[in-house]
A and B are shown apart, each in its own frame.
Chain A
């Protein structure tokens, strides 16, 4: 817990320093009678963030260990990481293989392999979800979801509904 606290505080410090550097593209000082420049707001707030996260880091060394409870639940962390990876793979696949292929793959993995559900439940959710999404977003709201290489397969459906 203590190590994680320190790592997070240190990363927040690095991030705020990066934000400060990034904000200096626009003037950060006082621009005569028109008040602060465009970079001032992000710059000085990032400085406060840097100081506050620095304070958290310093405090963790001064006050010592409060609890030695592990930051992650060792039994469950594998599941969390697996879901994060699956999520990233799915979002990556949306651009190239299309939303529907990606989401069907995700649901199949999640329900059948990760969740260990029966084929009947897996199949019904995996099939109903894309159909619902298609009618809700594409047909009703006219929001086209990314199709990637599967675009040609949808042309007959477009012809039918638009």
Chain B
């Protein structure tokens, strides 16, 4: 069957009343979560995941993806109205969005952000549809050796391209991987790393516990520390006249928006990169290729359009490797992956063969979610303005309650709630000391796969380590991984002679 008819079949699933309702609900929830300063898609998905037990598994994934989408749209709202990015992915939107709001053009900026998000989302979903099946076909040829090499490659992109401190990144990857081995040994079934002989550790440390701790509790603690004074909300009202003007202005920005979409999609696929660098890069390209480069940062509508197309495209891009290869392209998709595994839907090429209804239903729901998001976003702007006036203390209290109860619900063990509190406080401290948290979460999710594929290969090849480099595909991945790993070293060596000339700031 060709992609088009598969997609049409998918729409039959995603346009069912239940799933359509779920998409609308998810997008609306996502928009509000994204619009709240400090809360982004990853926090939203982590906090809401336990609540999705209320719907069947395949619908739960659609709900989470809709939240993901909505949050990417919503991030622009607080960037523009408060001048505080709703999530790190919307940082670049503040550069021109905030000046526009201060000039009384908040409505126009919000329209631009919504339209740009829609264009970025649509172009990237089409790219997603085109690439998904071939990539899954390729991945069918993967054995355990390739799986291991691919996971290794995913981690080395953090070292090579992550932009964080290399040593701190390595510490976080190793910590995540070691924490993922807690529980029973995959091969021999013997217990290991059972801290303090607590029975709760026998079932391992769930990705959800870490995610709720780090992205729920840790984020609230961070917000408490950084929110000394309540920010000023810029009022915004949208009239049909402004809507028309907004569409006309956006119609002139097709080049910027397509560059942003393609860039975002491909950057988003890389585990270490994702929406934040993609949007910053798109902003940079838009500014350097613009004829009016000096107006950027002073309220140029193009400076809102470029990052917003890119961050939405990146969120779709990061779904691609998650769904086809089982390797998430961002922390949020790592949580989606964990959720899918929890519900027995193991992402990867086999999912396309065994559960085509689900896969194409999910892909088609991205189209619906995108469409719903732009409409709801524009319609609910007055409501966002109202919601943004909500004091931090109310928001934080509700999030903390949801973290505690939501952490208890999946396993129904107090052990997990204690772990969440521990991870929350530890995550808050690590984040303050500039340790990146995304590789930690990704490592915990991918750890079992990495260890299993490594040991399976060695058992199958009777202990021959060279098997990883002898197979062409896995050999290529390993070579790329080595390259990424050596990248910071090369950068360092090239930079060090200059250091005497330009002292570090």
> A interface vs B, CB < 8 Å?
4-5, 8, 12, 16, 19, 22-23, 25-26, 30, 32-36, 38-39, 41-42, 45-46, 48-49, 52-53, 55-56, 59, 66, 71-73, 75-77, 79-80, 83-84, 87-88, 90-91, 94-95, 99, 103, 106-107, 110-111, 114-117, 121, 125, 129, 133, 136-137, 140-141, 143-146
20 A-B pairs in the complex with CB atoms less than 8 angstroms apart: A22-B192, A23-B192, A34-B463, A38-B185, A39-B192, A42-B181, A42-B192, A49-B174, A49-B175, A49-B178, A52-B167, A56-B171, A72-B225, A83-B400, A88-B421, A91-B418, A103-B405, A107-B397, A111-B397, A117-B394
Select from chain A the residue with minimum beta-carbon distance to B53.
Answer: A141
A127 → B minimal CB distance (Å): 13
Select from chain A the residue with minimum beta-carbon distance to B412.
Answer: A143
Q: Which residues of B contact A121 (CB under 8 A)?
A: 394
B474 → A minimal CB distance (Å): 16
Q: Mark B393-422, 1 if CB is under 8 A from A, else 0.
A: 110111011001100110010100110010
C-alpha gap A141/B462 in the complex (Å): 47
C-alpha gap A115/B174 in the complex (Å): 39
Select from chain B the residue with minimum beta-carbon distance to A90.
Answer: B404
Q: Which residues of A contact B217 (CB under 8 A)?
A: 87
The answer to whether B393 touches A114 (Cβ under 8 A) is yes
The answer to whether A106 touches B401 (Cβ under 8 A) is yes
A42-B181, A42-B192 in contact; A36/B455 too (CB < 8 A)? yes
The answer to whether A87 touches B400 (Cβ under 8 A) is yes
Q: Describe A's contact surface by its main secondary structure.
A: helix
Partner of B192, one of A25, A33, A84: A25
Q: Which residues of A contact B135 (CB under 8 A)?
A: none
C-alpha gap A140/B50 in the complex (Å): 13
Partner of A38, one of B51, B187, B400: B187
The answer to whether B167 touches A41 (Cβ under 8 A) is no
Q: Which residues of B contact A136 (CB under 8 A)?
A: 51, 54
C-alpha gap A140/B54 in the complex (Å): 7
The answer to whether A26 touches B394 (Cβ under 8 A) is no
A36-B455, A106-B401 in contact; A80/B171 too (CB < 8 A)? no
A106-B400, A121-B394, A137-B405 in contact; A26/B190 too (CB < 8 A)? yes
Closest 3 CB pairs of A and B: A35-B458, A115-B393, A38-B185
Q: Which residues of B contact A35 (CB under 8 A)?
A: 454-455, 457-459, 463
Q: Mark B211-227, 1 if CB is under 8 A from A, else 0.
A: 00000010011001110
The answer to whether B193 touches A8 (Cβ under 8 A) is no
Q: Which residues of B contact A72 (CB under 8 A)?
A: 225, 432
In the assembled complex, B429 has its CB within 8 A of some CB on chain A: yes
The answer to whether A111 touches B393 (Cβ under 8 A) is yes
C-alpha gap A116/B230 in the complex (Å): 14
In the assembled complex, B56 has its CB within 8 A of some CB on chain A: no
The answer to whether B463 touches A30 (Cβ under 8 A) is yes
In the assembled complex, B170 has its CB within 8 A of some CB on chain A: yes
Q: Which residues of B contact A55 (CB under 8 A)?
A: 167
Select from chain A the residue with minimum beta-carbon distance to B393.
Answer: A115
Q: Which residues of B contact A144 (CB under 8 A)?
A: 412
In the assembled complex, B430 has its CB within 8 A of some CB on chain A: yes
C-alpha gap A30/B125 in the complex (Å): 46
The answer to whether A115 touches B394 (Cβ under 8 A) is yes
Q: Which residues of B contact A41 (CB under 8 A)?
A: 177, 181, 451, 454-455
Partner of B393, one of A26, A94, A117: A117
Select from chain A the residue with minimum beta-carbon distance to B175.
Answer: A49
In the assembled complex, B391 has its CB within 8 A of some CB on chain A: yes
Q: Which residues of A contact B428 (CB under 8 A)?
A: 80
A55-B167, A80-B221 in contact; A26/B404 too (CB < 8 A)? no
C-alpha gap A24/B168 in the complex (Å): 25
C-alpha gap A35/B466 in the complex (Å): 12
C-alpha gap A144/B409 in the complex (Å): 8
Taking A26-B188, A73-B226 as known contacts, 8 extra A-B pairs with beta carbons closer than 8 A to each other, sorted by chain A number, are A16-B174, A26-B185, A33-B462, A35-B454, A72-B225, A76-B225, A103-B401, A115-B394
Q: Which residues of A contact B168 (CB under 8 A)?
A: 52, 56
- CB-contacts of B199-249 with A (<8 A): 217, 220-221, 224-226, 228
The answer to whether A115 touches B397 (Cβ under 8 A) is yes
B455 → A minimal CB distance (Å): 5
The answer to whether A8 touches B393 (Cβ under 8 A) is no
C-alpha gap A125/B454 in the complex (Å): 50
C-alpha gap A18/B455 in the complex (Å): 24
The answer to whether A71 touches B421 (Cβ under 8 A) is no
C-alpha gap A121/B417 in the complex (Å): 27
In the assembled complex, B433 has its CB within 8 A of some CB on chain A: yes
Q: Which residues of B contact A117 (CB under 8 A)?
A: 391, 393-394
Most buried by B among A34, A38, A99: A38
In the assembled complex, B351 has its CB within 8 A of some CB on chain A: no
Q: Which residues of B contact A22 (CB under 8 A)?
A: 192-193, 195
Q: Which residues of B contact A137 (CB under 8 A)?
A: 405, 409
Q: Which residues of A contact B188 (CB under 8 A)?
A: 26, 38
The answer to whether B393 touches A103 (Cβ under 8 A) is no
The answer to whether A145 touches B192 (Cβ under 8 A) is no
C-alpha gap A16/B178 in the complex (Å): 9
C-alpha gap A4/B168 in the complex (Å): 14
B214 → A minimal CB distance (Å): 14
C-alpha gap A90/B404 in the complex (Å): 9
Q: Which residues of B contact A73 (CB under 8 A)?
A: 225-226, 228
Partner of A80, one of B193, B225, B459: B225
C-alpha gap A53/B173 in the complex (Å): 12
Select from chain A the residue with minimum beta-carbon distance to B193.
Answer: A22
In the assembled complex, B425 has its CB within 8 A of some CB on chain A: yes
A60 → B minimal CB distance (Å): 11
The answer to whether B409 touches A143 (Cβ under 8 A) is yes
The answer to whether B54 touches A99 (Cβ under 8 A) is no
Q: Which residues of A contact B224 (CB under 8 A)?
A: 76, 79-80, 83
